[in-house]
């Protein structure tokens, strides 16, 4: 878990494979847009920084985090040449159990996509207690989980590529 003074988005850039030949999809929840746009920017810029051409990154929006599973599934079906997909969302605790159901549903759904498909789907869904925690993890004092998701996507795309030989 990110803690104050510990930026989890800091990493050794030289240890990341060159991603210039990879293609990625990003599915972004429109709910909590200020947070999800920050996560998207972190992921998008990190992919480009590691060689991915802008034209090799496709973005789709879905209404909320619960819909990420369907959006990622359709992206897998539509773009079979993608090397990885990043699912970006933000669920903030409220006064009801809705938070629990959405978090459980999206995490199980993305797990199933990874089990049933050859295209890895990276879980970049913040599940925070309040908006400030989400902002702190989407470009604030704790870094950007979108950056971390992009690094995971590159590493998984490389693993996918190497496993084909």
- pTM for the full predicted model: 0.93
Mean pLDDT of 153-159: 96
Q: Tell me if residue 82 falls in helix, strand or coil.
A: coil
Domains assigned to the chain: 40-53+71-163 (3.40.50.960)
Count of beta carbons in the 10 Å neighbourhood of residue 39 = 31
| Residue 91 annotated as binding site | yes
Answer for the pair 88, 146: CB distance below 8 angstroms, yes or no.
yes
Strands 138-140 and 143-144: antiparallel
pLDDT at 99 over 70: yes
| Residue 23 annotated as binding site | no
Segment 49-96, tens digit of pLDDT: 999 999 999 999 999 999 999 999 999 999 889 999 999 999 999 888
Instruction: Given the residues 13, 20, 34, 98, select the one marked as catalytic.
Output: 98
Q: Is 98 a catalytic residue?
A: yes
Percent of the chain residues past pLDDT 90, beyond the cut:
81
* Helix, strand, coil share (%) of the chain residues, nearest 5: 50, 20, 30
Distance CA 87, CA 56 (A): 17
Answer for the pair 68, 109: CB distance below 8 angstroms, yes or no.
yes
Percent of the chain residues past pLDDT 70, beyond the cut:
94
Q: Look at 7 and 100; give whichever has higher pLDDT.
A: 100
| Residue 164 annotated as binding site | no
Mean pLDDT of 26-43: 98
The encoded tokens of residue 120 equal: 């890895």
Q: Look at 9 and 81; give whichever has higher pLDDT.
A: 81
| Residue 137 annotated as binding site | yes
Q: Look at 17 and 67; give whichever has higher pLDDT.
A: 67
pLDDT at 155 over 70: yes
| Residue 67 annotated as binding site | yes
């Amino acid at each position: 878990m990110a803690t104050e003074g510990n930026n989890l988005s800091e990493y050794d850039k030289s240890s990341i494979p060159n991603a210039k030949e990879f293609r990625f999809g990003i599915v972004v929840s429109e709910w909590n847009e200020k947070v999800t746009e920050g996560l998207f920017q972190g992921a998008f810029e990190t992919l480009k920084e590691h060689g991915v051409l802008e034209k090799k990154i496709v973005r789709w929006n879905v209404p909320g985090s619960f819909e990420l599973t369907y959006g990622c599934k359709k992206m897998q079906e539509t773009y079979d040449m993608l090397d990885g997909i990043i699912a970006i969302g933000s669920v903030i605790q409220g006064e009801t159990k809705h938070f629990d159901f959405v978090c459980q549903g999206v995490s199980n759904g993305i797990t199933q996509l990874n089990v049933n498909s050859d295209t890895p789907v990276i879980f970049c869904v913040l599940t925070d207690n309040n908006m400030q925690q989400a902002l702190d993890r989407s470009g604030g004092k704790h870094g950007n989980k979108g950056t971390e998701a992009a690094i995971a996507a590159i590493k998984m795309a490389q693993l996918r590529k190497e496993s084909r030989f």
